[in-house]
């Protein structure tokens, strides 16, 4: 996975392609994936793309707005 450019939404945003690979190798279709540091929501996007459900927690309101928008 290529290293992403610095994101204007989150300083340590993870590449969705990397998260998608981890999810596909570790879970089954329909499983629930928990992310206790949701940040910019990359894991949620990867879950949606791979047919998994995501439970995400983020305490920073700015990051929450980024995820929802």
In angstroms, the CA 66 to CA 60 distance is 10
Whether the Cβ atoms of residue 27 and residue 8 lie closer than 8 Å to each other: no
pLDDT computed for residue 54 by the predictor: 97
Burial class (CB in 10 A: 0-12, 13-18, 19+), 43: buried
Residues 31-42 have pLDDT tens digits of 999 999 998 899
Residues 10-53 have pLDDT tens digits of 666 788 999 999 999 999 999 999 999 998 899 999 999 999 99
Q: How confident is the model at residue 6 (pLDDT cuts 50, 70, 90)?
A: low
Q: How confident is the model at residue 67 (pLDDT cuts 50, 70, 90)?
A: confident
Cα 30 → chain centroid = 16
């Amino acid at each position: 996975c290529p290293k992403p450019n610095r994101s204007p939404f989150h300083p340590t945003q993870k590449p969705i392609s990397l998260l998608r690979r981890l999810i596909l190798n570790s879970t089954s279709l329909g499983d629930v994936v928990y992310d206790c540091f949701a940040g910019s929501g990359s894991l949620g996007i990867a879950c949606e793309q791979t047919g998994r459900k995501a439970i995400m927690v983020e305490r920073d309101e700015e990051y929450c707005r980024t995820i929802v928008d």
